Structure 1
Amino acid sequence: MTSKNLRADTVTLAGGVQLPQMGLGTWPLNDDEAAVAVKSALQIGYRHVDTAENYRNEVGVGQGIRDAGVAREEIFVTTKFNKEWHSVEGARTACEASLKRLGLDYVDLLLIHWPNPAQDRYVQAFEGLLKLRDAGLVRAVGVSNFKVAHLQKLFDAGLTPQVNQIELSPTRPRKELVALHRVHGIVTESWSPLDRGGDLLKADAIQKAAAAHGVTPAQVVLRWHVQQGLVAIPKSADPERQRLNLDVFGFALSAAEMAAIDALEQPEPKLLDADRFGH
């Protein structure tokens, strides 16, 4: 399957902001690599780029955006900040530093990268995000790697993120968390959507669907994400792989194919524990 004019479908965040369902992940690219990868992706048709303070490549991402020749208002840029900025004023400090590194006047989505519950300041950090949105420095606000209990603490404070970016793939579908997101109108973003170094792409259900649709196994998995309303952010610096990753909006998996992929869930998936891990 090939498409000449590649472009991702979008989902609507609470508040009306449109988020492309396929984005370019940039970890662990360095600045030079990120500049090349982002330029390539945007010229192919991507309109969603994901970075973070902790990736140490925001300068390169910003350079790639400028080099691509695509109007800024067409590009959805996400970045994230670390635990040292978990306060109302800290969120602004982090945002301003990211904007300087990126060379941008605003970001489209700013996320708390990890909850760091032992520090217990993510509620204040989220309050800071809302002030940044009100000030026009960000268009949407959210969290990353938040578990049910972390989200509940936000809900109890009357706060609801527009996005939660979590590790999610067919082997780690995070069903309870995704269901909670839907109840509260939170969009789910999937990092490591193709699995972390596992054998997912070799699975019989994936291989059969790829053969049936004339696509690659990776395209099948990414289609599984977007077909259920998730946003996927696979990382690739290779232009051809970038093109294939984006080219998943011209076919649909059958109900039987979706069910077969759902059945790949692992009963005890290996996940980074957001109660213990974070930066």
Structure 2
Amino acid sequence: MVLTEHYTLSNGIEIPKLGLGTWMIADDKAADAVRAAVAIGYRHIDTAQGYDNERGVGDGVRTSGVPREELFVTTKLQADFKTYDEARAAIEGSLAALDIGYIDLMIIHSPWPWAEFRGEDRHFAGNLEAWRALEEFHQTGKIRSIGVSNFEQPDIENVLQGGAVKPVVNQILAHVTNTPFDVIDYCHNEGILVEAYSPVGHGELLGNPDILTIAEKYQVSVPQLCIRYTLQLSLLPLPKAANPDHMRQNAELDFEISDEDMDTLKNLAPIKDYGQHSEFPVFWRN
């Protein structure tokens, strides 16, 4: 059962192979979602400063009925913070909001501030400042592991060359019809685990007839097929769910996609429009 399986990060720490994504789960709903997920068997919860739900996630962790050390909690340093002082203050803020003693994994949410996402300025100096702050909290044990998100090869090289601690993960958008194999292969060669957020393409894959045909072949749902696809690429999927039935179904992955069907899924035409999620609503709110 995937909920009992783990990857081992490059620093030797184990991380559950499937996580619960909490993007767009409101703070006052997050605790219920976390408790439901833990009751089902999830042990990996993913949040972020930009989601505005760290307080609720922390409440869910504390009241889950499962010992803290059995849960793995990830949060993300807001993408806009590119100075050492900003990053330190934000990390303190996450520790206080979560109130769970320590953070298992904290990652820089993006190499670019959200307003400049995919811009020409890669903010190399600012990312190293933020990384230095993360390294210091990692040294104290308040953060057990540190990593990055939405980083491409030049951004990772910047951290590898300028930092003292190697990133253990890179969390990226990866799903059927959008699998950035260049970044994935680079990370795997560097011993960096790749986490796949939105493995169902923000829901836009649900109506894809090609994916539906393959899902029907295995008698599974489109989300199950898409999540299984990422696992077979040695990625760590983070499907978002607030409904316990969806959480349960997302973890029922006791099937294997054939090599032939994996090749078909790898080569499907990319999504050009994510609908209402074409502009990702992850930003800093004053």
TM-score (norm 2): 0.87
CA gap of 1:20–1:166, structure 2 versus 1, over 3 A, is: same
Contact 1:13 1:186 in 2 (8 A): yes
- The corresponding residue for 1:258 is 262
Distance in 2 between residues matched to 1:193 and 1:175, nearest whole Å: 15
Distance in 2 between residues matched to 1:27 and 1:278, nearest whole Å: 12
Count of residue pairs the alignment pairs up: 271
1:121 aligned to which of 117, 126, 133? 126
- Structure 1 residue 185 and structure 2 residue 191: aligned? yes
Contact 1:99 1:107 in 2 (8 A): yes
- The corresponding residue for 2:6 is 10
Distance in 1 between residues matched to 2:247 and 2:271, nearest whole Å: 31
Provide Cα deviations, 1:145-198, integer angstroms capped at 9, x if missing partner.
Answer: 112221122233255311111111111101111011011111111111101342
Map residues 112-261 of structure 1 onto 2, 5 A cutoff: 112-116=108-112, 117=121, 119=123, 120-157=125-162, 160-198=166-204, 200-248=205-253, 250-261=254-265
Distance in 2 between residues matched to 1:269 and 1:76, nearest whole Å: 33
- The corresponding residue for 1:40 is 36
Secondary structure at the aligned position of 1:122 is classed as helix
Distance in 2 between residues matched to 1:124 and 1:36, nearest whole Å: 36
CA RMSD of aligned residues (A): 2.4
Provide Cα deviations, 1:25-44, integer angstroms capped at 9, x if missing partner.
Answer: 11111111111111101110
Deviation at 1:202, TM superposition (A): 3.5
Distance in 2 between residues matched to 1:72 and 1:165, nearest whole Å: 23
Identify unmatched segments of 5+ residues in structure 2.
113-120
For residue 262 of structure 1, what is the amino acid of its counterpart? K
Deviation at 1:84, TM superposition (A): 5.0
CA gap of 1:156–1:101, structure 2 versus 1, over 3 A, is: same
Provide Cα deviations, 1:227-258, integer angstroms capped at 9, x if missing partner.
Answer: 1110111111111000011121x211111111
Which structure exhibits the higher relative contact order, with contacts defined as CA atoms closer than 8 Å and separated by 6 or more residues?
1
For residue 212 of structure 2, what is the amino acid of its counterpart? Q
TM-score (norm 1): 0.89
Identify unmatched segments of 5+ residues in structure 1.
none
Distance in 1 between residues matched to 2:2 and 2:182, nearest whole Å: 33
CA gap of 1:34–1:85, structure 2 versus 1, over 3 A, is: same
CA gap of 1:83–1:239, structure 2 versus 1, over 3 A, is: closer
Deviation at 1:23, TM superposition (A): 0.8
For residue 78 of structure 1, what is the amino acid of its counterpart? T
CA gap of 1:135–1:219, structure 2 versus 1, over 3 A, is: same
Distance in 2 between residues matched to 1:273 and 1:28, nearest whole Å: 13
Distance in 2 between residues matched to 1:38 and 1:187, nearest whole Å: 24
Distance in 2 between residues matched to 1:75 and 1:163, nearest whole Å: 18
Distance in 2 between residues matched to 1:244 and 1:267, nearest whole Å: 24
